[in-house]
A and B are shown apart, each in its own frame.
Chain A
Amino acid sequence: MTEAFEPKITAFVCNWCTYAGADLTGTSRIKYQSNVRVLRLPCTGRIDFMLLAKAFARGSDGVIVSGCHPNDCHYTSGNYHARRRWMIYRNLMDFMGIDTRRVTFSWVSAAEGARWAELVNEVTTTVRALGPYTEYKELALTGVE
């Protein structure tokens, strides 16, 4: 018997909103899927596009990128800058054939504990249905010629 596939989801979140939101999910004792690994960064603006690629190369099947809602950035405009970068990067990923269904961008505030749980559950279900991202993982295993 092979075990059912359980996706690995990596979440890059900002310290001030989504991380605090995810923390609230826990302190509110809201149960949600345990597939997500949360990585906290100071600001959405610090979430370099390469981090997403690295997550896939290291075995993630799905990625969440989340920060403060527009106007709520602790550093005033980090999320606005990030949004522009995502707008370009997402198109580039698609053009290069990377599966953009595996990357979810979102805004989750420090007060939205329930929303975080919902988001993770949804993403987990979607990625579980998509299956493992073998296509990308194989790259890392390809030897040097």
Chain B
Amino acid sequence: MDLREKARQLLESGEVKAVIGYEKGTMGARRPVFVKKAERADRLVLDGDCAQNLATYLTRPEIRKLGRVAITAGPDALRAILQLMAERQIEEENLLALAGDGTVELASAQAIEEHLALAPKELPARDRELLERLGKMDRAERWAFWQKELSRCVKCYACRNSCPMCYCGHCTMDCNRPQWVPVASHALGNLEYHMVRAMHLAGRCVECGDCGRACPVGIPIHLLTFNCEESVHQQFGQRAGASSRLDYALSTFRPDDKESFIR
């Protein structure tokens, strides 16, 4: 059985109300598709070009009100799903993850966790190289690097919108009374926006890299949230998306948390 056949069955039997997957877009690109009728299941595709983390749609009101949905999900999306469950944003019984070639049904958090245990997370070579380069820079060079990168940010918020963990109905960035962060695209506002984005995702980013992929001008902003994840992992010993029952690292504490900089 292939993904299309599976989707058709799921929709015909009424087991799910929609299948969230990819279809062919223009010029060979892949784009998200929301299949609600069995006869439209033929549009679905799943191949190496399907990169976007579809989990971002699961918290949209239009999807939520449908009821149970199926979603084609690679390891990154599966981690996002677990994290969304940990944050009580989606319910286990409302979701069926279609993993692997799209026919492997994962109907519970436990099933997802077991499936993920077989595929340990690895950073793409490009990110590893860039992180290595940054690691060798001194502080002033890192400042110059990020200033140069962020100067290209046009504040389109594609990074925010692509992120499965950015689901707040009201975002600090849209708040203009008082205006916490300048809206215009300029040095100060850009730095502050990315600082806020990274901190609001600290301990929650599942390191899918979609924010960086979504950026139309190619800023490696995902490295900012990755940095926070690395800190959380090293200092508090947990990784976002590892389980559906994870405390949010920054809203909890241990009396014996260890640091060396507080005087």
The proximity string for A residues 3-46 relative to B, scoring 1 for CB distances below 8 Å and 0 otherwise, is 00000000000000000000000000000000000000000000
Q: Is there an interface contact between A106 and B263, defined as CB atoms closer than 8 Å?
A: yes
List of A residues within 8 angstroms of B250 by Cβ: 81, 84-85, 88
Instruction: Check B236 against A84 for contact (C-beta < 8 Å).
Output: yes
- How distant is A119 from chain B, measured CB to nearest CB, in Å? 7
> Are B255 and A81 in contact (CB-based, < 8 A)?
no
Q: List 27 A-B contacts (CB under 8 A).
A: A50-B195, A53-B195, A71-B255, A80-B253, A81-B250, A81-B253, A83-B253, A87-B259, A88-B250, A91-B231, A92-B231, A95-B134, A96-B142, A96-B195, A96-B224, A97-B139, A97-B140, A97-B142, A97-B144, A97-B145, A99-B139, A106-B262, A107-B263, A119-B263, A138-B187, A142-B187, A143-B186
Distance from A51 Cβ to chain B, minimum over Cβ atoms (Å) = 10
Could you list which residues of chain B lie within 8 angstroms of chain A, going by C-beta atoms? 134, 139-147, 180-181, 184-188, 191-192, 194-196, 198-199, 202-203, 223-224, 227-228, 230-232, 235-236, 249-255, 257, 259, 261-263
Q: Is the interface of A mostly helix, strand, loop or mixed?
A: helix
Closest residue to A57 on the B side, CB-wise? B188
Contact of B195 (CB < 8 Å), options: A49, A91, A140, A144? A49
Cβ of A1 within 8 Å of any chain B Cβ, yes or no, is: no
Q: Write the chain A residue with the least CB distance to B229.
A: A88
Q: How many A-B residue pairs have CB under 8 A?
A: 115
Contacts of A87 in B (CB 8 A): 231, 235, 257, 259
A 85-104 to B, binary, CB cutoff 8 A, 1 in contact else 0: 11111111011111100001
Decide: A88 and B203 in contact? CB cutoff 8 A.
yes
Binding site for B on A (CB under 8 A): 49-50, 53, 57, 70-71, 77, 80-81, 83-92, 94-99, 104-107, 119, 135, 138-140, 142-145
Residues of chain A lying within 8 A (CB to CB) of residue B191: 53, 96, 139
Q: Which of A71, A80, A83, A144 meets B185, CB within 8 Å?
A: A144
Q: Are the C-beta atoms of A84 and B195 separated by less than 8 Å? A: no
Nearest residue in A to B232 (C-beta to C-beta)?
A88
B180 to chain A, nearest CB (A): 7
Give 15 A-B pairs besides A88-B203, A90-B261, A135-B143 with Cβ atoms closer than 8 angstroms.
A50-B180, A50-B196, A53-B191, A80-B253, A83-B257, A84-B249, A84-B253, A86-B262, A87-B257, A88-B202, A89-B199, A96-B224, A97-B145, A105-B261, A144-B186
Interface-central residue, B144, B196, B230, B253, by most chain A CB under 10 Å: B253
